[in-house]
Structure 1
Amino acid sequence: MADLTLNEKRLLVALAPLGEAGTGALAGALGTTEAAVVQYAHLCADSGLAEVVRTTTTTYALTPEGEDYRKNGLPERQMLENVGDSAPMRDLQAHPLSRIGIGWLRKKGWITIRAGVAERVGEVPPGDDEIALQDPKEGMPGIADLLKRNLITASEETAWQIRITAAGRALVDAGLDLTEETGTLTREQIISGSWRTANLRRYSLATPPKRIWPGKTHPYGGVLDDVRRILLEMGFEEMRGEIVQSAFWDFDALFQPQDHPAREMQDTFYLDLAEPCPPGWEGVRDIHEHGGDTSSTGWGGRWDPAKAEQCVLRTHTTPLSIRHLVATRRPPVKAFALGRVYRREAIDPTHLPEFEQLEGIVMDEDVTFRDLLGYLKEFYAAMGFDAVRFRPGYFPYTEPSVEPEVRVDGLGWVELGGAGVFREEVTAPWGIEAPVLAWGLGISRLAMLRLGLRDLRQLYRSDIDWIRDHPVIGREE
C-alpha cells in the first residue's frame, strides 16, 4: 500500500477509531470539504481499504398553489361539494375553478355527464393525491400526480457514509507514515536541489487523469463551416439575403405557377405582409400567361400580381440566386448561398419545418450541363462522398434537371437535392442570355450522413454529451 496518498492515510487514521462515519464528521476532523472526503474515500475503496455507501433522500415542498389546495381541497373536491347529487353543466362551468376542476372530476370518474347534467357517482373517499398533499413524503402513491400538477416540488439530498474495512484497519494498526508530501515542485525547490530530499507524492501512470472538456464548434456548425470553405476554395462568392421574401421572388420569378401545390398554406408559411413587385415584373407576368417573347407557351390563365406581393418565409434559397442574377445580369457569375429555409412539415426523424439549404449558381457564356455535373461531383468528393450519381428529375425552373445521389455504407444511394440549367422562362424576363447552372441541396441531410446520424433533430439539440464526445470534423488537407 505504498502508493497511498497522504490524504488517504489521514482518512484511514481518522476513520479507524470510529469504524464508520459520515462525510461531515470526517471533513471536520481532516479540515477539508465533504467533497474532498468522498474523493479520498473512493480512492481507499479502490484499494479495498474502505467502503463508500451513498444514500439519496427526496424531500417535497408545497408550491403556493399546493398550499392553498391543502387548506381548501383540490379544485375537483371543492367543485364536487357544489354538485350535490346532480347539477347542470352550465352551473359547474360558472364555478371559478371549473377550468381545472371539471376535467379532473371526469378523469377521476367522480361525475358522469348526461344531457348537459353532471351526476355524482356516489360517495368519493379521499384519493391518494389528497392524502399525500397533506404531508407529502417519499414513496407515497399520490406523489407522482402532485408533481405533474405542479402542486409540490422535489429536492434530492445525497449523504455518504464511509466504513473502514478489515484491510484498512490492519494497515492503520501496522502504522502509517503521515509525513507531509510534495505534490507540486516550485521553482525554488528545483534551483536549490531540495526536491531531491523532498517526500514526493507518488503518481500512478495507470490512473487516467480528470477529463478536460475544451470549447469547440458544434458538429453541425463545423459541417456548415466546411461547406462554406470548400465553395470559397472552388472560386465561388457567398450570397446573402432576407429570410422574408415576397412570393414574387420565392415562386413567380422562378416560373412556378400560382396554382402550384407548394404555394398552398399547407406547404408555406405566409405572413401578414406584402411587398410590391419589382420593376420589370410585367415580363414575369407575360411569361406566366403566354410565354412572353420566348418559345414557351407559359402556364396560361391570368397572373395575379396581388398573389405575388404576399410575403412568405422563404421556402428555399433559390430567391437569392435569381435576385443576384437580376442585380448582375452579365457573366461571369459563380455564387452560393447557405441559409435556413422554412416549410410546413410534420416533424419526424427526416423532416423539420426549418433546415439549411445550399444554393449555387454559375453563369458564363460556354458552361454546359456537363459542367454542372462536374461541379457537383467535385463538391461531394471534397465532402467525403466519392460515389456520386445523377437521376433525371423535374423542377419548374430548370431543364434539364437532375437529382444527385451519394452512396453511403449501410444506406445505399441517398438523394440530396436537385440541380439543372435555368429555363429561359426564368432568365429571359431580365435580359439574361448566358446559360445559368443552378442547384439546391439539403445540407442538413448531408450533414446527417457525414456525422453518422439517423435523426435530423439531433443536429439542432443542445446535447452536451454528444457535442463533447463527437470528434472535430474537418477535411484532410
Structure 2
Amino acid sequence: MVITMNMKEVLDGLSYNEKKLLLALDRNGGRGSPADMIAGGDFSLEVEVMGSASWLASKGLAEIKESSERSYALTDPEASAKGLPERHALTAIDAAGGKMSIGDLAQAIPGEDKIAVGWLMRKKLASMADEAGTNVLSLTDAGRKALTQQMPDEVLIAEMLKAPVSEKDADPKVVKDLKGRKGMIKEVVETEREISLTSDGTEAARSGIVLREEVTDVTDELVQSGKWKDVEYRKYDVQTFAPASYAAKKNPLTRLGNEVRELFTDMGFTEMSSEYVQPAFWNMDALFIPQDHPARDMQDTFFLEHPEHLDLEDGELVAKIKAIHENGGDTGSSGWGGEWSEEKASQALLRTHSTVSSIRYIAAHPDAPQKAFSISRIFRKESIDATHLPEFSQIEGIVIDKNANLDMLISLIREFYARMGFDKIHVRPSYFPYTEPSLELEVFFNGKWLELGGAGIFRPEVLAPFGVKYPVLAWGFGFERLAMLKWNIKDIRDLYISDIDSLRKNTVF
C-alpha cells in the first residue's frame, strides 16, 4: 500500500491508544461499541475507548454515533407494590357499602386518607356531600367501574414493577400524574455509542501500523541507563488541541450571598439565624398559623421521627399562644377557635420557611428599633424539577420601628431589588396567616412578570405574646430564584451542579 504524505503525517501523530483502537475496530469489521472493544481485551475502561475515539474522529479516521432512550422506573418498587392510596380508599368505601365519612376513611387507611381523597376527587372516582354536618364520600360510576379493573396509572406501575418502561410505550398523561406524586417514579436515560472507521480510518488501520509503547517524558533513569536510545518517543503537534486554563471563581450562590449580605449590612441590618430543626410551635404556632393549616400535612412538611417532639420550655409563652389561637387572647381578635394542641405544637420538623429566624429574633429583641436579615436554608416536600427542590434558601428580613408602615416596606423592597439590578417591581395584595396587609412581589424580566417572594406587616396576634409595641415589617424573597433571574438560568439544579469543569467553563457566572 502506498501511503501519501498526508496519511503519513496523520499516522505519525497517532498515540498508542489511537493505533490500538484503529486495529481493534478493523478486526471487528470496522465498527463496534466501547463494550465490544473492552470485551476484545484491547481496553479495560470505556473512558479510554471514548478518549481515543474522540481523537480519531477529530482526525477524520473515525465517526461516533450516539443514541439515547428514555425510560421510566419506580423509585421505591416495594412501596409502589402496596398499591395507590385511592385504590385502598376505593376498597374501604366499597366495603362500607359504597359510602363512607371522611373520619371513617381516616381510620380505615390512616396516613393515606388526605392524599387518597384528593386523587378520588381528581379522578372523579367519588363525590363528596355534606350529610348532617359530616363530609361523606360516595362512589361514582367511574369509582364502581374501577373496582373491577386496573386504572391507567396502576397498569403502568405494574409494568414498571417488572422492568423500566420506555418513554414511547408510556402514556404521557399517566407519566405526568405519577411524577406529581412526589418522587414515585424516576427517569432513566440509556445511551448507546458506536464507533466506526471512515475510509481514511480503514486505510490507516491497514497501513502496517506496529504497536510499540511510547515515551512521553524523558526521565533521569531513561537517560542514565542509556535506554533513551532504543525507545520510541511520542511526537508532539504544537497545533493540536490543548486544554484551556480557567481562572478560579466562587460558586454563583456564594457570590450572590455575599452581595446580599453586603447590601443589607450597608443598610444597617444585623444578620440573624436559627436551627434547621424546630418545634412546630416556632415554625407555625408562634406565627399564628392555624393547627389545621394544609402546610402541617405530612405531604408538605418533613416531620422528624427521632425526636418526634421537642420541649417548648417557656410555659408562660405557650399559654399566651394557646389563648391567642383559641380566642384571640388580649389582642381583640377572635383567634381561630377550637382547641389548641400543645402536643401538635411540640412536633419536631425541618423548618419550612425562614420566618422562624425572624420570630425567634423578635422574641429575643422585642424593643424598637431593630433591623435584621438572614439567608436561610429551608425544607419542603417538593418534587425535584427545573424550578423546585426539596431544600432551598430564602432571604428573610424584618424592621421594628415606631414609624414603620406599608410605604416604608415597599420602599425597602424596591431599594433591594434595584440594587440587585431589577428596576421594574410590581407589588400586589396577597394573603399570609401572619401578616396584614400582605404583599406578593414580582419583577419584570425577559418580557414578563415573575414572582419572587412575599412581604407584609406582622399581625397583632403574632407580636402580642412578645410584648412588641411597634409595627414589624417582614419579607421573604426566593434566593435561588433571584440567582436564576440574575444570570438567566433555566434550571435551578444547575446552581447546585457538582461538576467543577462545568462551573469553570460557565461564562454566565
Equivalent residues, number: 318
Corresponding residue to 1:413 among 444, 449, 452:
449
Take 1:276 and 1:25, find their aligned partners in 2: how far apart are those partners? 65
**Residue aligning to 1:322:** 359
- CA separation in 2, counterparts of 1:468 and 1:455? 18
TM superposition shift of 1:464 = 3.8
Instruction: Output the CA distance in 2 between the equivalents of 1:392 and 1:287.
Output: 25
Read off the aligned partner of 1:413 and give its amino acid letter. Answer: W
Query: Which residue in the other structure is 1:447 paired with?
Result: 483
> Where does 1:184-223 land on structure 2 (aligned, <5 Å)?
211-223=244-256
State the 1:352 CA deviation. Answer: 1.7
Q: Please, which of 226, 235, 246 is the counterpart of residue 279 of structure 2?
A: 246
- Per-residue deviation, 1:209: 7.6
Which structure has the larger Rg over C-alpha atoms? 1
Match of 1:200 in 2: none
Match of 1:284 in 2: 321
Contact 1:20 1:163 in 2 (8 A): no
CA contact (8 A) 1:417 1:441 kept: yes
Query: Is residue 487–residue 508 contact of structure 2 (8 Å, CA) maintained in 1?
Result: no
Partner of 1:350: 387
Deviation at 1:21, TM superposition (A): 8.3
Rounded Cα–Cα distance in structure 1 between residues aligned with 2:455 and 2:492:
22
1:270 aligns with 2:303: yes
Secondary structure, counterpart of 1:329 in structure 2: coil
Measured after TM superposition, the shift of residue 216 of structure 1 is 1.3
Paired residue secondary structure (1:307): helix
- Render the CA deviation track for 1:177-216: whole Å, top value 9, x for unaligned: xxxxxxxxxxxxxxxxxxxxxxxxxx99xx9985202221
Asked if the contact 1:22–1:161 (Cα under 8 Å) also holds between the matched residues in 2, the reply is no
Show CA shifts across 1:273-297 (max 9, x none): 3112242211111100101011111
Q: Of residues 399, 403, 424 in structure 2, which corresponds to 1:366?
A: 403
> Are 2:378 and 1:378 aligned?
no
**1:71-110 counterparts in 2 under 5 A?**
none
Q: How does 1:45-194 map to 2 (within 5 A)?
A: 53=61
The Cα shift of 1:465 comes to 4.8
**What's the CA shift for 1:461?**
2.0
* Superposed CA offset, 1:293-334 (max 9, x none): 111110111111011001110000101101111111111111
Distance in structure 1 (CA, Å) of the matches to 2:60 and 2:241 = 21
CA distance in 1, matches of 2:285, 2:13: 78
Aligned to 1:236: 269
Is residue 426 of structure 1 aligned with residue 459 of structure 2? Answer: no
The answer to whether structure 1 residue 226 and structure 2 residue 234 are counterparts is no
Closer, same or farther in 2 for the Cα pair 1:387/1:162, shift >3 Å?
same
* Contact 1:23 1:161 (8 Å CA) reproduced: no
Q: Structure 2 counterpart of 1:395, which letter?
A: F
> Take 1:158 and 1:241, find their aligned partners in 2: how far apart are those partners?
59
Report the equivalent of 1:93: none
AA of the residue aligned to 2:376? G
| Cα deviation, residue 20, structure 1 | 6.3
TM-score, normalised via structure 2 length? 0.55
Unaligned runs of 5+ in 2: 20-47, 65-160, 166-187, 205-237
What are structure 1's unaligned runs of at least 5 residues?
1-11, 28-34, 57-102, 108-147, 149-153, 165-202
3-state DSSP of counterpart to 2:304: strand
Separation in 2, partners of 1:367, 1:218: 36
Q: Counterpart amino acid of 2:484?
A: M
2:497 corresponds to which of 457, 461, 467:
461
CA-atom RMSD in angstroms: 4.1
- Distance in 2 (CA, whole Å) between partners of 1:417 and 1:282 is 32
Query: Matches of 2:15 and 2:452 in 1, distance apart?
Result: 58
Specify whether residues 157 and 299 from structure 1 end up closer, same or farther in structure 2 by C-alpha distance, changes over 3 A only: same
* Distance verdict in 2 for CA 1:323–1:161, change over 3 Å: same
**In 1, Cα distance between the equivalents of 2:18 and 2:298?**
68
TM-superposed CA distance for 1:13, in Å, is 13
Pick closer, same or farther for the CA change 1:55–1:294 going to 2, 3 Å.
Answer: closer
Q: 1:467 to 1:158 in 2, by over 3 A?
A: farther
Q: Secondary structure at the match of 2:289?
A: coil
Which of 425, 431, 434 is 1:397 aligned to? 434
C-alpha separation in 1, matches of 2:481 and 2:162: 44
Q: Tell me what 1:256 maps to.
A: 289
Following superposition, the deviation at residue 455 of structure 1 comes to 1.9
- Does the 8 Å CA contact 1:236/1:336 hold for their aligned counterparts? yes
> What is the Cα deviation at residue 222 of structure 1?
1.7
Aligned residue for 1:444, secondary structure, equals helix
Structure 2 counterpart SS, 1:440: strand
Task: Give the CA deviation at 1:353.
Answer: 1.3
1: distance between equivalents of 2:369 and 2:263? 20
